[in-house]
Amino acid sequence: MRRVREKRLLICLLSYQNMSVREMVQDMINDLTDALEDAEKHDSGNSAAGTRIRKIMQTCKGLAQDVRVKVQDDKNSR
């Protein structure tokens, strides 16, 4: 499942240029929802799950910045 999530995040990063802001935000929500399983494992003491959570959070941080840039570009083009 982890490999699938990583591939999906990479595909999302590459395809965000053509997505609406709503779709971008929904993808972030879906990724965070998927991360809940690893969050529960981390809370139970699984260190590897914590590493996966940190990676997902770093990716989401980048995706959030992409949303900010797209919103700003849209605002400036109107």
Q: What is the pLDDT of residues 6-37, one digit of tens each?
A: 656 555 555 666 889 999 999 999 999 999 99
Whether the pTM exceeds 0.85: the reply is no
In this structure, how many other beta carbons lie within 10 angstroms of the beta carbon of residue 12?
19
**In which element (H, E) is residue 59 found?**
helix 47-77
Domain map (residue ranges) of the chain: 2-70
Find where tokens 């699984």 sit. 46
3-state helix, strand and coil shares in percent for the chain, rounded to the nearest 5: 90, 0, 10
pLDDT tens, 54-77? 999 999 999 999 999 999 999 999
Residue 29 and residue 22 in contact, taking contact as beta carbons nearer than 8 Å: no
d(CA 15, CA 24): 10
